[in-house]
Amino acid sequence: MNGVLIQTNEFPPISGGVGSYCLGFASALVRRGVRVRVVAARKTKMDDAYDATLPFPVHRAYQRIPVIRHFFRAIQMIKCLSLDRDAVLWAAEWRSGMVTALLSFLFRRKMMITIHGTEFLDQNDSFFLRLFAMPVYRRAWRIIAISDYTHKIIVEGLPQYADKTVVIKNGINAEQFSDVPRERVEALIARYQLQRKRIILSLCRLVPRKGVDQAIIAFSKLRTSVPDAVLVIAGTGPEEVRLKELVARLDLGESVVFTGYVPDEEIALWYHASSLYIMLSRKDGAYVEGFGLTFLEANACGKPVVGGDHGGVPEAVIDGETGYIVDPLDPIAAAKAMEKILLDKDLYERMSLAGLALVHGEASWDRAAGEIIELLKDPVR
């Protein structure tokens, strides 16, 4: 079977959705016996130490000089191709795809590219982005959409490539979130003095499309029925000042906690510390939620979720089973959904178990890796 050479601008230890996507797939493919190499940007002093812990080689390319950073990546990819002459090239997003497409043409290799959602809508609004992206899509052997929603916008925007576009949904490594020492969770709760509180968690980048403002308004309507609830907003972003002003206007005081930056090692701790996870994603210009991986992360920790009816979120949240889907601009509906989950113990337990079953089965990276393996068996170049 062909090996895989993944090219990405974003990769751990730098946190981000595309990096998590690449790590999840690479790790799961290796577990299934596929040869994997990753070419990624060198961004931190911790890169080499982190890479040494992985079950596959990572080849880092310097990118401090913007004009020639693609050249450095191309050199690393050529080295990898000399080591695995049957590898299929896989661009994790379209900017990585520019170098990948060129090498695919020069070395006559199959190439795949993943589209997540927002970057594709950006191209529709920009002639120059589309000018650079179109040759990448033209060269691709397969275009991978991370959700049915993303598939829909690709087919609408690139109907000529509908026959080579496939849906392979994101997955999650449930064990990464389940194996968490309780004493570390309790220490985190104590650090923020949240003992004996029911924590509603919103962990995301603080940008308009994540809908944190609506989560705050929904929380303000929940306080009467669930007086021991607190809303923890974990993350940073340009909306932070505006969100804090909203909290002040609603007179929510210490019942809303802003944690600021959350290191990777504390993400699972926050999920376990919480009672419920909420993110009311909405469309903001070209920005969309292509899938909604954080809902699955919360499910992996046994937590029910409330998500906005937008983009690919309804594919990550099974409405009425692992949580509820609500109108992201209706904070009253969101408040009612949270209240129902928090005050009905039987419902809470059912949703918790359903979420755990989801991430250990249909939503696992192993399932996603299996679909990639079936794709790689296709002999068409």
| pLDDT tens per residue, range 256-268 | 999 999 988 899 9
Pairing mode of beta strands 142-145, 111-115 = parallel
Give the pLDDT of residue 123.
Answer: 63
Q: Please say if the pLDDT value at position 78 is more than 60.
A: yes
Question: pLDDT tens digits for 27-36?
Answer: 999 999 999 9
Nearest alpha-carbon partner for 146 in 172, 125, 176 = 172
Q: Give every CB contact of residue 134 below 8 A, 6+ residues apart in sequence.
A: none
Q: Give every CB contact of residue 28 below 8 A, 6+ residues apart in sequence.
A: 171, 173, 364, 365, 366, 368, 369
- CATH no., domain 174-359: 3.40.50.2000
- Whose tokens are 């983009």? That residue is 311
Cβ–Cβ under 8 Å, residues 154 and 120: yes
Cβ–Cβ under 8 Å, residues 37 and 3: yes
Give the pLDDT of residue 132.
Answer: 82
Give start-end residues of each CATH 3.40.50.2000 domain in the chain.
4-171+364-376, 174-359
Question: pLDDT tens digits for 140-166?
Answer: 999 999 999 999 989 998 899 999 999
The predicted model scores a pTM of: 0.87
Give the pLDDT of residue 39.
Answer: 96
Give the pLDDT of residue 313.
Answer: 94
Strands (E), the chain: 4-8, 36-42, 58-62, 88-91, 111-115, 142-145, 165-167, 198-203, 229-234, 256-260, 276-279, 305-308, 323-326
Q: Please say if the pLDDT value at position 193 is more than 80.
A: yes
- CATH no., domain 4-171+364-376: 3.40.50.2000
- Stronger pLDDT, 17 or 361, i.e. the higher one: 361
CB atoms within 10 A of CB 284: 15
The span from the CA of 363 to the CA of 230, in Å, is 29
Which whole number is the average pLDDT over 357-381? 89
| Averaged pLDDT score across all residues of the chain | 92
Residue type, 371: E
Question: pLDDT tens digits for 323-368?
Answer: 999 999 999 999 999 999 999 999 999 999 999 999 999 999 999 9
Question: pLDDT tens digits for 82-141?
Answer: 999 889 999 999 888 899 999 999 999 999 999 987 767 666 666 667 778 889 999 999
Buried b (16+ CB within 10 A) or exposed e, 291-304: bbbbbbbbbbbbbb
